[in-house]
Amino acid sequence: MSEKIGFIRRFFRFTSKIVSVIRHLIGFAFLVFFIVIIVGMFADDIQPIPDKGALYLAPSGILVDQRTYVDPLAQALSQSNHRDAETLVRDVVDALDYAQYDERISHVLLDTNYLAGGGIAKLEEISGAMQRFKKSGKPIIAIGDNFSQQQYFLAAHADEIILNPMGRIMLTGFGSYTSYYKDALDKLKINMHIFRVGKYKSAVEPYIANSMSDEARAARSELIDSLWMYYTSQVEHLRGLPTGAIDDLVNNMHTRLAAANGDVSALALDQGLVDRVATRSETRTYLKQILPTSNGDFDSVPMSAYLNHIKLSKLNAVDKTKSVVALVVASGTILDGDQPEGTVGGDSIANIFSEIQDDDQVKAVVLRVDSPGGSAFASDVIRDAIAAIRKNNIPVVVSMGSYAASGGYWIATESDHVVAMSTTITGSIGVFGVIPTFEDSLQALGIHSDGVGTTNISGMLQLDQPMSPQAEMIIQSGVENVYTRFLKLVANSRNSTPSDIHKIAQGRVWTGEKALQLGLVDELGDLNDAIKSAATLAGISNYKVDYRRKKLSFIEQAMMEINGNISATITAAGLNSWLPESLQKQVVKVLKPLEILDTLTDPSGIYLYCDDCPN
């Protein structure tokens, strides 16, 4: 018996050692993994700046005011390449503004190949920074294999544009198209109960019609015509083209291209859209001739590395300022509760303002709004949090990004000053509610609902029951009440009356330039202009800007930092989405009107959302 026990003990000791070795190996593997990730994150950022060289500006993905928090594995599986999916507008602006006075920077080399877009207002903000940089006399060189419409807008600021001979410039004009589902919903026997105030509030039209209403068509046409006029006038001015040249080229592209034997790059050169046509190798040879060189290649520093040097220089500088202008970003659809960055959580933003309220160093706040709206309840939670700040005599300035419409404008009413870009989409002062019920769909499948209730509205929130007339009246009354509140909020903030605001409301959207004329905003300008206005209102001249954001756990912060590296690894392994990228874009476009059904979280079912806001 003793020999048997000895054997068992020896066996378990041996097993224990094996398990311990495996545990240490796993721990070591994780350590190596994180070291590799961290080295990968900072490898590009620690390179030195040359004594003389170009700032390599290559924005990638979508231009945003705030990066979206996405689980790294989910992001990696959804991306089609390893480039960053988003680029912060303020990073591009900061790099250009700093490089303007940096003697080490001789040129800006603008590479738009990786830019996916981001909205005309964000392009306008970067445009301002590029034009400020050009005042230094330093050249901007733009290179591209192809130029999309948005890519070309930035490239047009360059002193010289180089296009690949196999490339093209895709100028097509602006359009705004929506998919409509009435026939499909009828076939599926889904009943959409619609409640709205404002004849221009078209967010619900896809569920009740098969085409655009006359009001929506007129409003949307005026909007995109205004934005296209801005685009063409800016490009023509920057490229020294006659007025109307872009419209003439786009409308006659078929004949012009036929005359050029289908050679798009040759046509672009002939029309003055580019200055040079060259292959990649020819472009590199040319850049070596005009840019500072060393070791047989031209000297440059990527934007990410340059920004890292800027941050280090600010850390090393003696900071004698005690005053702070807090910058809060509300970017995305407004939703109830606590939400990840990339959306606007009512509680998330309110909590940030509560923390600011307890910070004695904060003398002013800039709220950057880049939102088409969303939940009416969440919008008012944010507005109330801003009101609490202002009661402490802390001025709040709203800076409008691409959109500050509907719920985005609701929260802007609680501010001391409103600054918008000329191409910002704002207004959309209107309200709607939408509740689908599926009783007919279920009956067609042989599924029936029955039961009892104590009142005639006890089943008003049952989606498998028909909506009673009483329930419809209740919801419509709520929608009308919120619209009345909206008019009063705007009237009080703009020194007007509800009746006068109603004339320019009813869900109508406006550009920032038109909103200024209508008295809905106070000033045209970018984020920097808004920060200066906030400092002026606070009576401070020596201050620093502190970007405030939702508190993340250590794990969440680590995830946000390493997701790009994980994405690159999975992409390299060929584990991308099985659906072609071009088809993914078409699917997203067709299903866009259905997105709102995924955000129906308002406790009262009432929404302040702008569906007229074009991408």
Q: What is the pLDDT of residues 586-610, one digit of tens each?
A: 544 555 555 555 555 566 667 787 7
Report the alpha-carbon angle 89-97-510, nearest 5.
Answer: 45
**579 — pLDDT class (breaks 50, 70, 90):** very low
- 40 φ/ψ angles, rounded to the nearest 5 degrees: -65, -35
Residue 226 buriedness (CB in 10 A; 0-12 / 13-18 / 19+): middle
Ramachandran region of residue 39, left (φ > 0), alpha (ψ -120 to 50) or beta? alpha
**199 — pLDDT class (breaks 50, 70, 90):** confident
Q: In the predicted model, is pLDDT for residue 123 greater than 60? A: yes
* Contact predicate 403/372, CB 8 Å: yes
CA distance 441 to 464: 9
Q: In the predicted model, is pLDDT for residue 388 greater than 60? A: yes
Give the pLDDT mean for 435-443.
90
Residue spans of beta strands (DSSP E) within 167-222? 191-197
pLDDT value of position 310: 86
pTM of this prediction?
0.83
Q: In the predicted model, is pLDDT for residue 103 greater than 50? A: yes
pLDDT value of position 459: 82
Give the pLDDT mean for 422-435.
92
How many other CB atoms sit within 10 Å of the CB of residue 92?
21
pLDDT value of position 564: 47
Find how far residue 6's CA is from the centre of its chain.
Answer: 68
- In the chain, what are the domains? 53-64+86-175+214-311 (3.90.226.10), 318-444+462-556+587-609 (3.90.226.10)
Give the pLDDT mean for 291-317.
85
Q: In the predicted model, is pLDDT for residue 414 greater than 60? A: yes
Q: What is the pLDDT of residues 134-144, one digit of tens each?
A: 999 999 999 99
How many other CB atoms sit within 10 Å of the CB of residue 358?
8
Based on the residue annotation, tell me whether 52 is a catalytic residue of this protein: no
For residue 98, which of 324, 367, 320, 312 has the smallest C-alpha distance?
312
Residue 228 tokens, joined:
């296209």
From the candidates 201, 363, 514, 550, give the one annotated as an active-site residue.
201
Q: Which residues contact 562 (CB under 8 A, 6 or more apart)?
A: 37, 41, 72
Q: In the predicted model, is pLDDT for residue 162 greater than 90? A: yes
* Contact predicate 605/431, CB 8 Å: no
Based on the residue annotation, tell me whether 201 is a catalytic residue of this protein: yes
CA distance 509 to 516: 13
Give the pLDDT mean for 69-82.
53
Give the pLDDT mean for 166-179.
92
Which amino acid type is present at position 592?
A: K
From the candidates 60, 375, 402, 406, give the one annotated as an active-site residue.
406
Q: Which residues contact 472 (CB under 8 A, 6 or more apart)?
A: 193, 195
Give the pLDDT mean for 558-569.
49
Kind and range of the H or E run holding 108: strand 105-111
Handedness of CA 389, 391, 393, 398 (dihedral sign): positive
Between 89-99 and 527-538, two packed helices, what is the crossing angle to 10 degrees? 80
- 286 φ/ψ angles, rounded to the nearest 5 degrees: -65, -40
Q: In the predicted model, is pLDDT for residue 13 greater than 90? A: no
pLDDT value of position 296: 81
**45 — pLDDT class (breaks 50, 70, 90):** very low
Q: What is the pLDDT of residues 483-512, one digit of tens each?
A: 999 999 999 999 999 999 999 999 999 999
pLDDT-wise least confident of 26-35, 214-223, 235-244: 26-35
18 or 301, greater pLDDT: 301
pLDDT value of position 32: 60
Q: What is the pLDDT of residues 459-469, one digit of tens each?
A: 887 888 888 88
> Using the 8-state DSSP alphabet, how is residue 169 labeled?
B
* Contact predicate 534/544, CB 8 Å: no
- 140 φ/ψ angles, rounded to the nearest 5 degrees: -115, 125
pLDDT value of position 584: 47
Give the pLDDT mean for 16-22.
71
Residue 599 tokens, joined:
């955000």
Residue 410 buriedness (CB in 10 A; 0-12 / 13-18 / 19+): buried
71 or 517, greater pLDDT: 517
Handedness of CA 105, 111, 117, 121 (dihedral sign): positive
For residue 518, which of 537, 496, 540 has the smallest C-alpha distance?
496
CA distance 84 to 561: 11
Give the pLDDT mean for 265-276.
97
pLDDT value of position 572: 41
184 or 569, greater pLDDT: 184
Q: In the predicted model, is pLDDT for residue 525 greater than 70? A: yes
Give the pLDDT mean for 194-202.
86
Q: Which residue has the tokens 């790059």?
A: 265
Helix and strand numbers, DSSP H then E, in the chain = 23, 25
Q: In the predicted model, is pLDDT for residue 25 greater than 80? A: no
Report the alpha-carbon angle 126-293-238, nearest 5.
Answer: 30
